[in-house]
Structure 1
Amino acid sequence: MIIQSTRVWIDEKFQSAQLEIKDNKIVGIHEYNKYPVDTDYKDERILPGLLDIHAHGFNGMDSNYATADGLKHWIASLPKEGVTSFLVTTSTAPEANLLESYELISKVIDEKLPGATPLGIHVEGPQISFDFKGAHNPYLIQKPNVEQFKRYQEHAQNKIKLICIAPEMDENHELIKYCVNNNVKVTLGHTGAKYDECVQAMHDGARSFTHTFNGMLGVHHREPGSAGAALALDDMYAELICDGVHVHYAVAKTVVRAKGKDKLILVTDAVQIKGLKPGIYDMPGRWVEVKEDGCGRLKDGRLAGSSNKMITMLKNCIEHCDAEEVVAINAATKNPARFLGLDTKGEIKLNNDADVIVIDDTYQVIQTYINGNPVL
């Protein structure tokens, strides 16, 4: 199969090109109009598929209490917003529920269903700070524990790829070190860690910050805090929920400028309210009100996740944060892939997975290809 456009995102810029796809891979990148094509997208933009490494649920299903039907519906729906790969993210919940969910999520991943590819599991909580818990259940927060994580990973069939840890709660950073030594990426979040502790956590192997500015010690000119560390540490990635609600766009601009084209990661932090109409919902483990802005809030007004879409995060980053295209596009494609160590995703280049999307100038998704297969 060959598709083409006058605007294909290759080597961090738009170029006229043809993409030849065979056996799930990009096997050729040719001059525009060189060969007969299956689909000519003319001036529409072709990008690498978007990766959402921080998403909790969809249409009433919470990953903490996962169901097979809910997961399958989620996988099938994500390509509509340009997502070709994602991490199934859990949050603080009773261990028995998490272990049961990890087993089910692992089985569904192994089914290799059509739709967005679940790359593994992202654990966000309960290894976090009580003082910076956000919407996490305060009665279930626990100190990081290596033996507990081993139970998680056993039930997940080693599919946990990323974990969020408050480093100040992790004595001697034992869990951080264990995860790093066992090929699990570590992100710092829901944390009151001061700058120096974040630096030490980086030296011990942590490589990113969870939804920067949300659930972390803020910036002071004499104590940069966790948020200041996210901005200042050039070797660390930083997630950003770019919806203007979780982080004011004026502040989001500082994150965009600080992390640049190589270290910014856009995420949705979408929870089970995604796909639901505004209203009040009483779900397993959570009461939440869905507002007209698409964000969920607890009874006390605290933010409790979003119904964000990745293509909208990309659009917002460019239109509201003055980000150059290369910064925003990398943040939704190349950077999350590189952070997770995925060499065949996040870029349009020879021998990479044929995960690409076609969008118009209003950021509407026209087509999504996953492993070379059109899915819309």
Structure 2
Amino acid sequence: MPDSKTEWRLYNAQIAAGSAIIHGSVHIRNGQIHAVEATGAAPPHAGSAELPSPDGRRHCPAIDADGGWLLPGFIDIHCHGGLGGDFMDASDTSYEQITRFHAAHGTTAMLATTVTASKPAIDKVLAAAASFRQEGSSKGARLLGAHLEGPFISPRWPGAQNPAYIAEPNTEWLKQWTAEYPDLIRIVTLAPEQPGASELIRFLKEKGIVASCGHTDASYDVITEAANSGLQHAVHTFNAMRGLHHREPGTAGAVLTLDDISTEVIADGHHVHAGAIRLLLRCKPLNKVILITDAISAAGLGDGSYELGGLPLSVKDGVARLQKDGSLAGSTLTMLSAFRFVIEHCGLSPLEASRLASANPALLLGMEEHLGTIASGKSADLVLLNRQLEHQATWVNGELAG
């Protein structure tokens, strides 16, 4: 298949192009989308493997999508690892494993997500992520930056995070990290009820970093106040947070009812019931719901014994749980599986599911001008599925990945 060093076209595809599905072709030039055309099947002339370029002056290699789905590449803003690699390893080898594994399942961009750990351990992850983002992966998803999930969380809702490293929100740490690694940290997850959280949320807002609630015991009123100060997002909604009660709506109730807060959901059928995802979709504006994997190093490796943040866990039938108490411990999910789940079990169309997997995370990160949709001038980050929504190919910046 062609790469970014050649000009090429993909035709006879059902293209998720903004707010509509069109049957047509996409023309790629120099790693960018040059044109999107509604051309129907548009077979190559005389059975050749080439099609005219849009200006009609030359021919370029062509791929027949055979009526399959061409989608903007998936953007995973909450992923810990895959295929044996963990972002906490802070090594190029692990990062290459992770980004290539997820690219093979349609992910074209992602955030290196930490767990609750010591400051020196997080220092190493940020240094490694900054270096890897600069150098890039040869065949993997692009690394957009880092998501700090902890250590500023509630000891009442640690989930699969190591409670030994939970710390109160510390703005000085963020000042140091943002000075050393400008534009690297994209999301910080914290418990808004913890001392120092309000100051940190305001600092994050000033820096253009997404302040997110998660692993939190915050009440409805605390979340509302935090939203007024700059809280924008909620990680793995319904999981590791104070739940909905009719007399105290809790964190979940606030997230459901405050339109300005975007929400992640782990759509694997284990973390959140399909009915609860449908509830989320009814409560939130569609552009505020984001699919994530929360994948750990065990993703892609099958059942067995693993660890997360130094805590032993077991994977059985694809479900990861801590050995000490059975708590869910991340997932073995891919973005493609999450995409298919919300179509098959939650009533979304492929176009709507594509928004949750691509356009919405790009919007949250402020990268919608370059990523998240298929349009002229945007990066050629694409995933091709067949008519049965099975993976066929992934391109990052116009190059085959995975």
Distance 1:105 1:172, change over 3 A: closer
Match in the other structure for 1:370: 396
Query: Which of residues 128, 133, 143 in structure 2 aligns to 1:109?
Result: 133
Asked if 2 retains the 8 angstrom alpha-carbon contact of 1:294 and 1:308, the reply is: no
Query: Which of residues 377, 381, 390 in structure 2 aligns to 1:351?
Result: 377
Asked if 2 retains the 8 angstrom alpha-carbon contact of 1:297 and 1:305, the reply is: no
Match in the other structure for 2:332: 307
Residue type at the aligned position of 1:279: G
Measured after TM superposition, the shift of residue 360 of structure 1 is 1.5
1:20 and 2:45 matched: no
Max radius of gyration: which structure? 2
Cα distance in 2, alignment partners of residues 123 and 59 from structure 1: 21
Cα distance in 2, alignment partners of residues 302 and 50 from structure 1: 28
Residue type at the aligned position of 1:239: E
Cα distance in 2, alignment partners of residues 287 and 156 from structure 1: 31
TM-score of the pair, normalised by structure 1: 0.95
The range that moved more, 131-140 or 11-20, is 11-20
C-alpha distance after superposition, 1:16-73 (max 9, x if no partner): 1221111211111223139546112131010100000000012333222322211112
Match in the other structure for 2:347: 322
Query: Which of residues 69, 93, 98 in structure 1 aligns to 2:93?
Result: 69
1:82 and 2:106 matched: yes
Cα distance in 1, alignment partners of residues 96 and 178 from structure 2: 22
Match in the other structure for 1:360: 386
How many residue pairs are counted as aligned between the two chains?
A: 376
1:52 and 2:102 matched: no
Over aligned residue pairs, what C-alpha RMSD do you find? Answer: 1.7
C-alpha distance after superposition, 1:246-279 (max 9, x if no partner): 1112212211222242111000000111122211
Cα distance in 1, alignment partners of residues 16 and 183 from structure 2: 34
C-alpha distance after superposition, 1:90-138 (max 9, x if no partner): 0101111111121112111110222210000000001111111111111
Query: Which of residues 73, 76, 94 in structure 1 aligns to 2:118?
Result: 94
Match in the other structure for 1:177: 202
Cα distance in 2, alignment partners of residues 10 and 124 from structure 1: 33
C-alpha distance after superposition, 1:130-163 (max 9, x if no partner): 1111111112111101012223335545411111
Query: Which of residues 124, 133, 142 in structure 1 aligns to 2:149?
Result: 124
Cα distance in 1, alignment partners of residues 180 and 122 from structure 2: 9
Distance 1:80 1:92, change over 3 A: same
Asked if 1 retains the 8 angstrom alpha-carbon contact of 2:16 and 2:354, the reply is: no
Aligned identity (percent) is 33
Query: Which of residues 171, 177, 182 in structure 2 aligns to 1:146?
Result: 171
Residue type at the aligned position of 2:156: D
1:270 and 2:295 matched: yes
The range that moved more, 200-209 or 121-130, is 200-209
Cα distance in 1, alignment partners of residues 396 and 194 from structure 2: 40
Distance 1:13 1:332, change over 3 A: same
Match in the other structure for 2:9: 2
DSSP 3-state at the match of 1:306: coil
Unaligned runs of 5+ in 1: none
1:215 and 2:243 matched: no
Cα distance in 2, alignment partners of residues 126 and 282 from structure 1: 18
